[in-house]
Amino acid sequence: MSEYEHTEHLLIQIDYLRTANRQLREYAEDAVAKIKRLEEAGDALKAAGYFGGWADAVNKWIKAKEDEL
């Protein structure tokens, strides 16, 4: 393999890695947005549970989730 071919091969690999990196960042941004939506939905459900008289059940669920972490 000539030096030119080797350099060309490296440039192709760099381009591939840049594309993969960009895709991973996009996926990570989407995951963060999804987590935020799920946390907001969880907060709304918790508030509804407290309002609906389910405070004990909500507190048990929260405790169980915290223990998992």
Per-residue pLDDT of 41-51, as tens digits, reads: 888 888 888 78
pTM of the model: 0.61
What's the pLDDT at 69? 65
Task: Look up residue 4 and give its two tokens.
Answer: 């030119």
Instruction: Tell me how far apart the alpha carbons of residues 49 and 57 are, in angstroms, rounded to a whole number.
Output: 8
Task: Look up residue 57 and give its two tokens.
Answer: 């059940």
pLDDT digits (tens, 9 = 90+) for 8-65: 999 999 999 999 999 999 999 999 999 999 889 888 888 888 788 888 888 888 888 8
**AA letter at 45:** L
Spatial CB neighbours of 9, under 8 Å, sequence gap ≥ 6: 1
Enumerate the H helices of 2-54 as residue ranges. Answer: 3-51
